[in-house]
Amino acid sequence: MKTLLAIFAHPDDESFGIGGTLAKYAHEGVAVYYLCGTRGESGTVDPAFLRGYADVGALRSAELECASRELGLAGVRYLGFRDSGMPGAPDNRHPNSLFCASVDAVAERIIAHITDVQPDVVITHDKFGGYGHPDHIKLYHATLRAYEKLYGLSLGDDHTAFSPTTSDSINDHPSPALHRSSHQSSTDDARVERVPRLYVTAFPKGMLKVAVRLLPLLGQNPRQFGRNKDIDLVTMSTWVVPVTTRIPVRAYIGHKERASACHLSQQPVTRQGNLIVRLLFRRANTWEAFSRLYPPVKAGEPIETDLFGV
């Protein structure tokens, strides 16, 4: 059986972002596991949602269990850190927060799950953390560090060298930079061949750039967006992650929408308010995008449509 391990920071990251992809593979017979960095303790929650739950973490964990059933996941696992909140939030400094944990400490916990699950494919956040969340960024670096510790591979993390591709083939820049760590000998090639394929999420910025221009006309500040007005869409629109992979998910949109609905306490602002805003920020219903970090992308390689390299 093929196995996929998605490593993300919070309950709801699995549904709002890549729920179509996870549902697609789960329903095609792949064992799909979700490794969640925290229990979302810092999430903003209406007190009405907390009835029957000890705290925010318990509520959001229950929402994740609901979503996992809708997506057909084989299991949900936790890294055991605490939600850090957005940059500058007091929760950044909580001693158990993911923000305060060292990259090596997080990598060691990730390694334990990779060793146990033995995935063929791993997916995590991109280097910008999607919208700049420190927990997302920490898991990106920790996952790359886990690959270095497990397989002796150093995967370059500088996406800024790439230009977005608009054709059906990947641009001529190799992605990513890849070299053998100094402690890895050439005799370990067989071990390296068994490295799980590694992907990060990729969010095309075309519609976001349009939204940045239109939001002020709708009375909204694109530099203060989201439930807590702490997301800077203008800066986000400048972050480029090359799209190497598009996964068709039209047939699984229903699963994604039902899984997203499980996270009732965290419904995104894009589901509220002005119809134009909702349309602008709605992710494509036909495919979800990723950037492959391992195996490295070759110049001229066509956009792939399967995470398993089929």
- CATH number, residue 156: 3.40.50.10320
248 by DSSP, 3-state: which?
strand
Is 211 a member of any domain? no
- Count the Cβ atoms, other than its own, within 10 Å of residue 24: 25
Is 276 a member of any domain? no
The sign one gets for the Cα dihedral 86, 92, 94, 98 is positive
Q: How many domains does the chain have?
A: 1
Is 308 a member of any domain? no
CA–CA distance from 237 to each of 71, 219, 222 (Å)?
29, 19, 10
Mean pLDDT over 111-124 rounds to: 98
| Residue 207, pLDDT score | 76
Is 310 a member of any domain? no
Is 221 a member of any domain? no
Overall size of the chain counted in residues: 310
Is 90 a member of any domain? yes
What is the span of the domain harbouring residue 175? 3-204+240-268+283-294
pLDDT at 157 over 70: no
Is 145 a member of any domain? yes
Is 151 a member of any domain? yes
pTM reported for the whole predicted model: 0.85
pLDDT at 2 over 80: yes
Identify the band that residue 230 occupies on the pLDDT scale cut at 50, 70 and 90: confident
**Burial code of 202-225, b = ≥16 C-beta within 10 A, e = fewer?**
bbbbebbeebbeebeeeebebeeb
